[in-house]
Amino acid sequence: MFHWYVINTYSGHENKVKQNLEHRIHSMGQSVNVRDVVVPTEQITEVKDGQQVQVEKRTMPGYVLVQMQMTDESWGVVKNTPGVTGFVGSRTDPVPLPKAEVDRMLNRETAERPRTQAQFAIGESVKVISGPLADFSGEIAEINDDSQKLKVLVSIFGRETPVEVNYDQVKKI
């Protein structure tokens, strides 16, 4: 029976471990026992210099998912792959992941829109480039990644006024 398992790797070496593991599976004839090797990632839209850029980020640094049928041979192939530090679970009996958890990790349950990650910091000076307050400058007071908005303190008639704007309505000064 095929199940998904999580293996520990050295952080930052997930793609190299995936390559090594796929090569070992093929060369050691374990393709019948190991179906898939996946590095969980997600698409994030970052705003850089007023432009939106799609970036792929790892959702679980230091981990790789493997869909396999647990046998002594397949366990040995995965465990002895360079960069693999072990399976998640007990040392002798790895714990398979529930299907719902695998679907969540691989973003299969919903077609979410890509997340946007702010390239701003609280206290940073920005200039509003669109909307009713275009050409006003201010300082970031709050960042809300969920709604992709910033609260910027803009000086209107000599008073600091908080204004809520989208990420794409401002640029760094």
* Domain boundaries, given as residue ranges, for the chain: 2-114, 118-172
Nearest to residue 67, comparing CAs of 114, 18, 112? 18
Give residue 110's pLDDT: 44
pTM over 0.85: no
Give residue 114's pLDDT: 55
Give residue 117's pLDDT: 63
Gap between the Cα atoms of 53 and 37, Å rounded: 27
Give residue 29's pLDDT: 92
First to last CA, the chain: 57
Low-confidence ranges of the chain (pLDDT < 70): 50, 108-118
Give residue 63's pLDDT: 93
Give residue 64's pLDDT: 94
Gap between the Cα atoms of 108 and 103, Å rounded: 5
Give residue 147's pLDDT: 80
Give residue 115's pLDDT: 58
Give residue 111's pLDDT: 46
pLDDT digits (tens, 9 = 90+) for 110-152: 444 555 566 888 999 999 998 888 899 999 999 988 788 899 9
Instruction: Indicate the CATH number of 2-114 among 1.10.238.10, 3.30.70.940, 3.30.1330.10, 3.40.630.30.
Output: 3.30.70.940
Give residue 108's pLDDT: 56
> Domain 118-172 has what CATH class?
mainly beta
DSSP string of 107-172, one letter each residue: T-SS-PPPEEE----TT-EEEE-SSTTTT-EEEEEEEETTTTEEEEEEEETTEEEEEEEEGGGEEE
Give residue 109's pLDDT: 45
Contact residues for 26 (Cβ-Cβ < 8 A; gap 6+): none
